[in-house]
Every structure is written in C-alpha cells, then in structure tokens.
Homo-oligomer: A and B are copies of this chain.
C-alpha cells in the first residue's frame, strides 16, 4: 500500500514537471515532438544528471513509466489547452509535491550508494534532482533559467535536503525522514510564493 502511494506521488510530480515543459515549449511554437522532448527533459533531466554524477544507470531507462507519464501530460495539454490557465493553482501544488518527492529521492538514493557520500553531497543531489530539470528545460527553449532569477525554488530544495540529512544523522526512521523532508520543501515553497519571498538580486558593478 505504501509503495502505491509513493508511485502516485511520483506520477503527480512527473506529470506536473512535464506539463511545465510542454506549456513553455508551446509558447515557443515547438512542434509536437519538440514539446514532448522538452516535457520529458523537464521531468527526468534532474534525476538523469544525478544518476550520471553518481555513476548509476539513469532511472528512466529501467521503467517506461516516465515516458508514459510524459505522454499523458502531453495529451492533457493538447486536449485541455483552453482550461490550463484555470488549473494553474492546481499545477502549482502538483509541481510542489513533485519537488518535495524529487528532493527526497535524490537525497536517499545518494546516501544509499556504496561510496558513502557525505551529507553535503546528498543535499546537492537532492537539489539537482529537484531543480536541474527546469534548468535543462530553459536551456532547450533558449531562455535564461527561471530558477536563477525568481522564487525560492532551489532554497526550498536545500532546506528539504538539510531536513532529510538531519533526520538521518539522528537516526530517525527512513519513512519519517522522507515525510519531514518533503513537507519542509512544500511548506517553504508555498510560504515563499504566498508572501512573495525571494532572494536578493546580485547588484551590478
């Protein structure tokens, strides 16, 4: 039963990330293939970079579900194009839940590696899993990565990673660490958007 709930969250996260890529691609007049690829890269790009850095087979090559989830997201955008704006608030929550889950997956996969990586590596991998997909998406559509200019997106990943590692360090059970970490990500991002919190812009010389 527990497995199924995590699978469901993974679908929600992949779906929301793919939607964000497909919508931005459509704003750039990409064709169907291009939109699908950008959606897929947004959804699996962060985890792929993490797996390459960790030296393991990229996760999406072991199960076709991520390509299928992205296809569902693609047809959703094609069919419900005119309703998408009204669903923005729902997408935001889906995206945030996905972000929390991706951070948890990135941290826990890193700490389970035989190489016994340090906590700061796990936090970095959690952040990459959550945030690098969006950077790859923005490179593919030839825009300055949004994450470098707006929203406390990456910082939410950072604190989620720290929460995970703190739980791990004090010996909390794995399931609890995962929930605490994901909830930390969700709360920080929701608060940041609600109260328009953002990091200072680096002043020009």
Identify the A interface with B (CB < 8 A).
22-23, 25-35, 37-38, 48, 52-53, 55, 57-58, 61, 64, 67, 77-78, 81-82, 84-85, 115, 117-118, 120-121, 124, 135, 139-145, 147-150, 154-155, 198-205
Known: A64-B120, A143-B142, A149-B29. A202 touches B35 (CB 8 A): yes
A sample of 21 inter-chain contacts (CB < 8 A) reads A23-B205, A26-B204, A28-B144, A31-B200, A33-B147, A33-B148, A33-B154, A34-B202, A35-B148, A38-B148, A52-B53, A57-B115, A61-B121, A64-B118, A64-B120, A67-B120, A84-B205, A139-B140, A139-B142, A142-B144, A142-B145
Known: A25-B202, A67-B120, A200-B31. A140 touches B149 (CB 8 A): no
Task: State the CA gap A61–B33 with chains docked (Å).
Answer: 31
Tell me the interface secondary structure of chain A in the complex: helix
A25 / chain B contacts, CB cutoff of 8 Å: 148, 202
A35 / chain B contacts, CB cutoff of 8 Å: 148, 202
